[in-house]
Amino acid sequence: VRVRNRALSDPHFQRWAARFPLTRGIAHRRATALFDMSAGFVYAQVLHASVRVGLFQALEGGALDATELSARIGLPVSGTERLARAAAALDLLEMDGERFVLGVHGAALLANPAATSMIRHHELLYRDLADPLALLRGDDVTTSLRRFWSYAAPPGTPTDDVAGYSALMADSLALIADDILDAYPFGEHRHLLDVGGGEGVFVEAVARRFPRLRLTLFDLPPVAERARARLDRTNLGSGVDVVGGDAIRGGLPSGADVATLVRVLHDHDDAQALRILGAIRAALAPDGVLVVAEPMADTEGARAMGDAYFGFYLLAMGQGRPRSPDEVASLLRSAGFGRIHRHPTRQPMLTQVVTAHAASIVK
Ligand SMILES: C[S@@+](CC[C@H](N)C(=O)[O-])C[C@H]1O[C@@H](n2cnc3c(N)ncnc32)[C@H](O)[C@@H]1O
């Protein structure tokens, strides 16, 4: 690696590699990748602006020229043209002569309101990342994401209402609920406890698939209240027990033989995560199973999503870190869990699944 890197950082070698027929293609691809990395923030802004003005919805009915599009999205014609051409360069749109139509990514986004909510939400992340070094140094900055995820805010800081994050999570859970339910045989259990269950979208999906499973949802009291109200509006009604509390302080309702932690563990530093895991272990029936489901670091084909995207997202949020399946396993082991297994999922970029037994009984 040292020899390779010495060559790659030598300007003479770079000039030679860019001309030599056998290395020309590689040199070009690497230069493009590096350019794309440095321009990534700009590309993200093009996407963000497109979502905010409803560019993709505007083109749902077919091709439009810049003037027609301008009337739909409420930007001046010159701004519309600038945005639409940038979006076309990123395959969000395509050009059909002088007119614009949906491109592959724009069309896909139309069918994916959850991704659209995340793109809108990224406004807070971009604001917080304006000075990444301040975050990396650990300077005492109150970020927008800390206020948004109120459980990550230092005590006494003003925070947003839990409604914001609860709705964002409820929107995006649809993308992964089926993957989790397909990855693990929940039907073999009798009572499921969803810890950090948000507004109850996951337990609702469980109930639909496994109507005989008893269900308990646990979350912070204001979120539990929202879950209760939301579930009461569904035909599940009182079929789900909803309990408010703080998993870090323990006191989870006991007796379930399977617990789930869906997109919860990565939000917490190791010390807090161990307390949550300890509380779950204490609450589970003997030999009960914990199912951890979340996007993880070191995901093949999506490595940047883990340590780069989630690493910096959680840095801005002020706590937590993305963990690889092996790191999740070692945390589970430290909390006294055993018989740890990984279960393949359809979209590992969105969630992986690791299970563990409450008592480390080796068969
Ligand atoms: C990222 S959200 C995930 C929600 C849901 N599981 C999902 O995937 O949509 C994390 C959830 O954990 C809850 N949470 C965070 N800290 C908690 C704690 N100490 N005790 C109980 N719930 C907690 C939050 O209120 C929030 O609903």
Dist. CA 327–CA 285, nearest whole Å: 25
Atom index in ligand 1 nearest the CA of residue 247 equals 20
pLDDT tens per residue, range 319-354: 999 999 999 999 999 999 999 999 999 999 999 999
The pair of structure tokens assigned to 23 is 């290395």
Dist. CA 283–CA 241, nearest whole Å: 15
Q: Is 205 in the pocket of ligand 1 (CB under 6 A)?
A: no
pLDDT tens per residue, range 280-311: 999 999 999 999 999 999 999 999 999 999 99
pLDDT tens per residue, range 39-92: 999 999 999 999 999 999 999 999 999 999 999 999 999 999 999 999 999 999
Residue 120 pLDDT class (50, 70, 90 cuts): very high
Whats the size of the chain, residue-wise?
Answer: 363
Tell me, in angstroms, the distance from the centre of ligand 1 to residue 264's CA: 5
Secondary structure of residue 248 in the 3-state scheme: helix
Q: Is 103 in the pocket of ligand 1 (CB under 6 A)?
A: no
Do 216 and 239 contact (CB within 8 A), yes or no?
no
Question: Taking CA 184 as the corner, what is the angle to CA 182 and CA 186, rounded to the nearest 5 degrees?
Answer: 100
Do 98 and 68 contact (CB within 8 A), yes or no?
no
| Residue type for position 351 | T
Dist. CA 338–CA 132, nearest whole Å: 38
Q: Give the residue from 354, 247, 334 showing the smallest Cα distance to 290.
A: 354
pLDDT tens per residue, range 154-175: 888 888 899 999 999 998 998 8
Do 322 and 266 contact (CB within 8 A), yes or no?
yes
What pTM was estimated for this model as a whole?
Answer: 0.92
**Looking at residues 221-245, what average pLDDT do you find?**
91
